[in-house]
Structure 1
Amino acid sequence: MSEIDSLKAQLESLQSEALESFALAASLSELQQLRVNYLGKKGALTEVLKGVGKLPPQERPVIGQHVNATKTALAAALDGCEASLAVKAKAERIEAERIDVTLPGRSSTSGALHPVQQGLDEMTAIFSQMGFAVAEGPEIENEFHNFDALNIPPEHPARAMHDTFFVKEFAEGEQSEPMLLRTHTSPVQIRAMKRFLEEGHEPPLAVVAPGRVYRCDYDVTHSPMFHQVEVFKVDRDVSMAHLKGVLKHFLSTYFEKEVSIRLRPHYFPFTEPSAEVDIGCVFCAGKGCRICKGSGWIEVLGSGMIHPNVLRSVGIDAEAFSGFAFGLGVERLVMLKKGIPDLRLFFENDVRFLRRMGS
């Protein structure tokens, strides 16, 4: 076989092989690689062209025509396959992105405040409307604000580890003191009165202090983390009558009905005299039911007149001024108002419960 016939056979074989490869290409990127393999500067067609230089000058134009014809055929085949693959890719993309307009729409539910936060906001708003200023304090407290200033001596059982979360000693300058997670919001009472006096004021002072508190307790009605609202007023000639009037108005407003209340003698180290506050059962209207254990009354909070030692601890003249204070558990009142049987439901984050209670 002559040299020119050998080159023609190579061109025909290359063209046949290339056309078959083009037809089998599954993607545009694969087809582009085939274009480089066959028509590129170092492609198969270029390798064949290297043999043209060995031909006699008079035969070179003849083989050149065959080379051009092969190159044109391959380019045309590549363009055709590329167009076909482009149409196929577009169809696949359209199918993948197709939206079934007959499907029902996706509804988006509106978020809502947690029921405890709702209760905090509602209670704080009621007291704000009564003229009480809102105050806050740190959740990590020292023993002075959480115990000492509130007439709770070192030997008091509330300072035991089974009641209080103590944290690592906290250094302040050259001294260090035990720190704890506050067990009530009453330390805000101390801080608010101290700040009030440091600013050069003197009573009257009326404050509501909502916040998160911590105690070592966990059951159906107790949680190691819960919320309280501390309320107090200091002025001249404040009496238990003022305390009862504020409680009556608040509880009736919160439960959205007229409620009866009673004060039972009790002991709290930071108030004297002290009283537990009961309300007429909001479920049976005082007739007696399972919730109130047949008594017709439900205990809701502790209260009393601020102990003179508490006033003296912040520098208020206990002979000239008096005050009342009470603290209420937010979760307890929310449970009573909304009929929630278990305190732990507030913290389990069951979305079904939160949706139902978050209205």
Structure 2
Amino acid sequence: MKSYKLAMKVVLAVSLAMVAMTGCQHGEAPVTARDQINIWLDASPRELEFFREIGGRIEKEMPGITLDWKITRLNDLKPEILGNAELHRSPDIVLLVNDWIGELSRQNLLMPITASLTHILPTMLDGVKVKGQVYALPWSFESLAFFYNTDLIATPPRSFDELVTLGGALASDSLYPFMYENKNFYYHAALFFGFGASIFAADGGIDLPTAAHEESLNFARDLHTRWNLLPAKANYPAMINLFGRGKVPMIITGPWSLPEIERSPVKFAVAAIPDISDGHPARPFIGIKAFAINSHTSHRDEARKVVEMLCSKQVQTLAAQRIGLLPCCDIAPDQLTPYQRGFLAGARHGVPLPPGESMKFVWQETNWILNEIFTNQQRPISEILAEAQGRIEQLEGRR
């Protein structure tokens, strides 16, 4: 009898332990373990809330997984990927910036993605390719656009010829009619590419002394010296302050300026940057955030499905409406705000930020060039370009 009671106690103890481990109650089916998909990203609290909501929907569609969202500062994100992707097979998915793709793909840290991408705008898709292969799916973008004071300007200028004429008419009522950060190559790039210049030669080397580059610099200098539309140096804080106070009616800036400008009393609208000339649109840089998959993940198929769902047209449309996303797909204009439509119109002709370590030389020297053409206005631009090219060739080891 004692042995029977002892046996029953053992059976009961084992049963309770099994219930505790599985979390099952009487009559419930056992809980199936889910695979955890780790997603690393830099996101605001509002964006994270949106991602978690969409993630919940994805988990219902894919009952075998659970999504874990880890916030990492953008400056720390790439070093974290480089240190963990192969060694720890984590993260499974990362929301990265497109100019990282070249380096990470060369180190075999990104999984090539094959999917139906017809909903993604071609310009955005170009920004996530290396040698024709897609390594991430575009999620959102940032680019420059033309902001104008609607109390003073009913219709934005379609070309820089119209802008110059309009600027002359507005000059008497403005501190300056027009401003942009004219000593910053990120801003000048809209003119640089619009005039047909390119950063790299056919052999892949940096090639700055070209006729098109010189033409774009002459034009930038003329905006100040010939037409007196803007100061020799237009810095960002002054530009935003003066536009918000109604002292400068036209500026070029990006979506990061919207919160501050919206707090000001000025009434404004956003449009594409005016064309350089007929058939030659301004072509600003585009920075793209895109979801990429760790090539060492243990969940390749699951990660690919998650990324496809996150970057679908339906989710990007919802994100545009809910969190102000600038989407990378072709969304009906009536589903976007006027500001979003303005940025998207300009980005269609934009140039994705180029990948590659040599771009650090480009930023350094092109910003020096812009400073030099305004500081030493009598110096020939061809001479300035030749000096910058010489330094780049030394840095690249070509001399």
TM range (shorter): under 0.3
When normalised by structure 1's length, the TM-score is 0.19
When normalised by structure 2's length, the TM-score is 0.18
Mark the structure with the bigger radius of gyration. 1
